[in-house]
């Protein structure tokens, strides 16, 4: 199993705070059946600054530590980029790191809205060979209230990744139900942990996979697993035609 979104690099953001934390997270990941993790530290916030070159070096260091500890897990380089208007310029300047040097770029929205320039920015990214992957859209307030926004972005080529703990209900019943609606509407393409530690924001991929298998069958589990593998190799991922989330169903959850 491959986890495409995880804050496992030590001492770079609000994830692992030390190498010991990273190793403990790695052991927990292996217990979950994970054999590859995309390290995706926050690119640039008011508190953190993790440019491409520094992430690549830290990934090499962590992989060496994992080998020394005989932990059978491979870390791949990546980055979680909070959306901003000059993302393409940041990529061209060598600051932004797509997943494992592929065209796929993890993009985070603010928690409460989708910037008005998003559609134009995504178009520009795609015209320059990049494919935006929207992370945890199920936790975005504006998308929950207006899922048509996500439908439009996916219809125009964006991909999305929902969080395992959302599927498991850790963020509440409303977010869990909305996550399942996104799955049913073909509006998400990946499940990932977004793990930050082994306590309150840990790996729950096995649990989420179990929920999805029981509700939708093993074929959908295979779909998400294959897409994670395709993404990390830079290959085309599988997409089903997106559908609109019916607002009536969403309002019933409030």
Q: Hey, what domains does the chain have and what are their CATH numbers?
A: 2-251 (3.20.20.140)
pTM of the model: 0.95
- The predicted pLDDT at position 45 comes to 83
Instruction: Count CA within 13 A, CB hemisphere, residue 58.
Output: 24
80 touches 40 (CB < 8 A): yes
How far, in Å, CA of 170 to CA of 58, rounded?
30
- Bridge partners (DSSP) of residue 104 are 131
Could you state, in chain order, the average pLDDT of each consecutive group of 10 residues for the chain (254 residues)? 98 97 98 97 91 97 98 98 97 97 98 97 98 98 98 98 98 97 98 96 96 97 98 98 76 46
247 touches 181 (CB < 8 A): no
- The predicted pLDDT at position 251 comes to 46
SS3 196: coil
For residue 210, give Cα distances in angstroms to 36, 48, 215, 221: 19, 35, 9, 9
Q: Give the H/E segment covering residue 163.
A: strand 159-163
């Amino acid at each position: 199993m491959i986890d495409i979104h995880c804050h496992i690099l030590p001492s770079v953001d609000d994830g692992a705070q030390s190498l010991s934390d990273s190793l403990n997270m790695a052991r927990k990941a292996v217990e979950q059946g994970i054999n590859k993790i995309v390290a995706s530290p926050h690119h640039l916030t008011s508190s953190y600054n993790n440019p491409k070159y520094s992430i690549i070096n830290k990934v090499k260091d962590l992989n060496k530590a994992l080998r020394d500890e005989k932990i059978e897990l491979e870390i791949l380089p990546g980055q979680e980029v909070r959306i901003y208007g000059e993302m393409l310029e940041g990529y061209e300047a060598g600051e932004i790191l797509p997943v494992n040097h592929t065209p796929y770029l993890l993009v985070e929205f603010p928690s409460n809205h989708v910037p008005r320039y998003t559609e134009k920015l995504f178009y520009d990214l795609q015209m320059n060979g990049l494919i935006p992957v929207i992370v945890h859209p199920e936790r975005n307030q504006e998308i929950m209230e207006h899922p048509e926004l996500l439908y439009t972005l996916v219809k125009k080529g964006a991909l999305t990744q929902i969080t395992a703990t959302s599927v498991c209900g850790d963020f509440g019943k409303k977010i869990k139900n909305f996550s399942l609606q996104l799955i049913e509407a073909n509006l998400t393409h990946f499940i990932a942990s977004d793990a930050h530690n082994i306590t309150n924001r840990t790996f729950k991929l096995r649990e989420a996979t179990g929920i999805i298998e029981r509700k939708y069958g093993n074929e959908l589990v295979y779909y998400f697993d294959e897409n994670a593998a395709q993404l990390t190799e830079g290959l085309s991922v599988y997409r089903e035609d997106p559908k609109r989330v019916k607002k009536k169903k969403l309002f019933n959850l409030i």
